[in-house]
Structure 1
Amino acid sequence: MTWQVRAARTADIDALLDLAKLTGGGFTNLPADRDSLAARLAKSEASFARLEEAPDDELYILILEQTSTQRIAGCGMVFSRIGARWPFYSYKLGTLSQSSRELGRTFAMPYLSLVSDHDGASEVGGLFLHPDLRAGGLGRLLSRSRYLFIAGHRARFGNKMLAELRGVLDDDGNSPFWDALGRKFFGMTFPEADSFNAVHGSQFIADLMPTQPIYTALLPDSARAVIGQPHACGRGALAMLEAEGFTYDNYVDIFDGGPTVTARTDQLRSVRDSRAATVTRLCETGPTPEGQEFAPALIAAGQLTEFRAWIGHIAPGTGPATCTLPTREAETMAVTIGNEIRHVSL
């Protein structure tokens, strides 16, 4: 157990920028722009420090850090309320059925509508893990720690949670979906539009994007084929989201056509199944004095800026809503008897 997820700090800017340079584009929440990242970190620190608990456009950035070396190798984000500053736009994929009596045929016509149906929801995003470490469970730690943070600060988030996945890009970082649709109205390449959105927000979409439905039959095959499909590097992330309870309901990203998935916040597995417990004993690994065995678990401790999460071990404590932790793990994570932790099975 050498890795933890903790609240980000402004001093993490250099490490976060190094990660952003590895994303390969199309990663709006983690732009390879120092000023933009610095602004995000400043907003995150202000969000962690905020006393009011009702959601109001906060951003919480969590960092994956090796406890022994302080190496930063990943990040994840939670947005408390989307659509607070400007509408959160998506395309909704629908189907219009039209019949011709003369031909004796009925046609199903898929179309895309520009909508802001998710305004007011919370969002998990910005999940990125260093390519050299995408094995061994660190992605699961980084992803699921966000849900323990949400569960431990539930009043700060909405009742609906969503996640957007990066869509399909070619080897040059271009999006077949954007090239067929958005580029026609904005005169910008996908990297240009994506970079502009990352820095300035999506209001320019409202200014220039046509609001009328767009029939997908008018798009080339290359664009239709990627609607609702995640980037190859995002398939593992989609699987983790689905394991938490997210589902796809025909909403796609307006830039690259990647899928948007949603869930009820309280029905997310790591929120629903996590439990708070007070640490009443620390002991060496092996059966506890009461004969209880330690089980692997995702564990979190601390509130707001003191939040940290790790994959460790836990055993039942000496009473209801109590637990026992291994001494060495507790010392590494600065947890002692009397502290409250939150845990969920792996």
Structure 2
Amino acid sequence: MTFVVRAATEADLPHLYEMAKLTGGGFTNLPPDRTALSAKLARSREAFARDGGPMTDELFVLVLENTATREVRGTCQLFTMVGQQHPFYSYRIGTLTQHSRELDRTFRAEMLTLTTDLEGSSEVGGLFLHPGERAGGLGLLLARARYLFIRAHRARFAPRILAELRGIIDEAGGSPFWDGLAGRFFGMNFQAADEFNAINGHQFIADLMPKHPVYTAMLSDSARAAIGLPHPSGRAAMRMLENEGFAFENYVDIFDGGPTMTARTDNVRSIREARESRVVAIDSDGGAQALVAAGTLADFRCAYGEVRRCGDGVILSGACTEALGIGEDAAVTHIARW
């Protein structure tokens, strides 16, 4: 069974909609709303169709396809430059230190400050793998394919890149962080706010969110405990990001308090260590397990394969070249599987 990561098309809408209904909430980039998903696919189609030109605010949607059944079993998204149409808000965790000479005591207060520091960055997000496929390294294939896509289109992406991880969501689908902070100002529960944001954007945050720093000591224990923690289902994703060189630098999501991971784009491991080669032969005599990508824009495809060095070129397994739709002398980008 072979899987390939490719550009999404409008025909993938039914599959994306069915997967969106499985996310469990708090997944802004994959809302269970056909109209919103259709708009994403239309925006993605425009991005794939644009060849060259200056860097601008674009969205690329990729999907994971089972090549035997043609079913879409996962998806991910790349945003080239966030915060261009609407402000990109985060909370930055900081500390205010004050000293009382009379009491001879020093007080350190943790604060959350609303910021647009990350505006202009690229973003990887919207990664979701169907629950029935969470084995065999498919999540890693989907995640790392994004970086090979960025490498192939480096001029379309910013110097800095971020990834927002979903925060703590309780069994009822609520967010302790939202309930303890923003929910008090918006008059709506987390699920309603999250759905509104996914479909309409978050300009309403700019309109209603208090601009003054918030002392975390004033929050409930449950809200404070959720700051900077990923949802249990996102812990593996956080480890994958850390392996790629992303780090948590005290930025958290304004909705659920989940961590925002950041990196310099050129320092992301899969972008930095990938290599370009020509396919000099195709056989099934084995080789090192690797991610292999070919094509650009709407023709981009990425799959697992066996790779052997042969001079300046590589020998690929037949299953891999078939999944990528390439033959001998094709140009590929490859990086070891880990």
TM-score range, shorter chain: over 0.9
Distance (whole Å) between structure 2 residues aligned to residue 284 and residue 238 of structure 1: 35
Match of 1:22 in 2: 22
CA distance in 2, matches of 1:190, 1:27: 12
Counterpart for residue 144 of structure 1: 144
Pairwise CA distance, 1:53: 4.2
Distance 1:179 1:328, change over 3 A: closer
Mapped partners of 1:166, 1:53: distance in 2: 33
What amino acid is aligned across from residue 315 of structure 1 in structure 2? Answer: R
1:341 is matched with: 332
Q: Which residue pairs with 2:304 in the alignment? A: 311
SS class of match (1:36)? helix
Shift of residue 308, structure 1, vs aligned partner: 0.7
1:300 aligns with 2:256: no
Alignment correspondent of 1:72: 72
Corresponding residue number in structure 2 for 1:187: 187
Q: In the alignment, what sits opposite 1:289?
A: none
Match of 2:226, SS state, is coil
Opposite residue 190 of structure 1, the aligned amino acid is F
Deviation at 1:285, TM superposition (A): 1.6
- The change in CA–CA distance for 1:192 and 1:116 in structure 2 (over 3 A counts) is same
What is the alpha-carbon distance in structure 1 between the residues aligned to residue 255 and residue 314 of structure 2? 47
| Distance across 2 between alignment mates of 1:56 and 1:302 | 21
Contact 1:54 1:157 in 2 (8 A): no
How large is the Cα RMSD of the aligned pairs?
1.0
Helix, strand or coil for the counterpart of 1:343?
A: strand
Residue equivalent to 1:205: 205
Q: Which residue of 2 aligns with 1:101?
A: 101
Contact 2:96 2:110 in 1 (8 A): yes
Contact 2:97 2:108 in 1 (8 A): yes
The answer for unaligned runs of 5 or more in structure 2 is none
Instruction: In structure 1, give the amino acid aligned to 2:158.
Output: G
Indicate conservation of the 8 Å contact 1:246/1:268, yes or no: yes
Q: CA-to-partner distance for each residue in 1:153-195, whole Å, 9 max, x for gaps?
A: 1111001000000000100110000001111111011011111
Equivalence for 1:291? none
Contact 2:303 2:320 in 1 (8 A): no
Q: Could you tell me which amino acid in structure 2 is paired with residue 239 of structure 1?
A: R
- 2:314 aligned to 288, 312, 323, which one? 323
Contact 1:53 1:155 in 2 (8 A): no
CA distance, structure 2, for counterparts of residue 328 and residue 100 of structure 1: 70
User: Structure 1 CA distance, aligned partners of 2:51 and 2:147?
Assistant: 20
Which residues in structure 2 correspond to 1:148-297 (within 5 Å)?
Answer: 148-286=148-286, 294-297=287-290
Conserved in 1, the CA contact under 8 Å of 2:3 and 2:323? Answer: no
TM-score (norm. length: structure 2) = 0.98
Q: Secondary structure at the match of 1:143?
A: helix
User: Per-residue deviation at 1:51?
Assistant: 2.0
- For residues 220-264 of structure 1, give each alpha carbon's deviation from its aligned partner in whole angstroms, at most 9, with x where no partner exists: 100000000000110011010111000000000000000001000
Determine what percentage of the aligned residue pairs are the same residue. 54
One-letter code of the match for 1:340? A
* Alpha carbons 2:4, 2:323 under 8 Å: kept: no
The Cα offsets for residues 37-90 of structure 1, whole Å up to 9 and x where unpaired, read as 000011011100012343211100110110010111110110000011011000
C-alpha displacement at 1:331, in angstroms? 2.7
Contact persistence 2:303–2:323 (CA under 8 A): no
Give the counterpart letter for 1:207 in structure 2: D
- Residue 121 of structure 2 aligns with which residue? 121
Structure 1 unmatched ranges of 5 or more: 287-293
Q: 2 CA distance for matches of 1:329 and 1:88?
A: 39
Partner amino acid for 1:221?
D
Cα distance in structure 1, aligned partners of 2:241 and 2:249: 14
Amino acid at match of 1:306: D
Quote how far apart the aligned CAs of 1:315 are: 0.9
Which range is displaced more, 129-138 or 206-215? Answer: 129-138
